Amino acid sequence: MKETIIKVEGMVCGGCENRVQNALKTLEGVENVVADHTKGIVTVTAKAEVSKSIMKEKIEDIGFEVKED
């Protein structure tokens, strides 16, 4: 399992967390997603290597901004 942490701006509530989680769960190989709007992060656990750029694109497609490390 590989864990990736992504910094996301624009999540302000549990509904935002759900939108991000549901979007990322559609990606092949993603096992689990935990979004935390209070910390502004999303933790993605995947079975295989999932490109961070693909995850970023998915998050931005639904209206949130990904902050680079």
pLDDT tens digits, 23-59? 999 999 999 999 999 999 999 999 988 999 999 999 9
At 63 the pLDDT is 97
Give the number of other Cβ atoms within 10 Å of residue 23's Cβ.
Answer: 18
Q: How many CA atoms does the CB half-sphere of 14 hold within 13 Å?
A: 0
pLDDT at 61 over 70: yes
Supply the pTM of this predicted model.
0.92
Q: Structure tokens of 5?
A: 């942490």
Domains and CATH numbers, the chain: 2-67 (3.30.70.100)
Q: Where are the alpha helices (DSSP H) in 1-69?
A: 14-25, 52-61
At 69 the pLDDT is 60
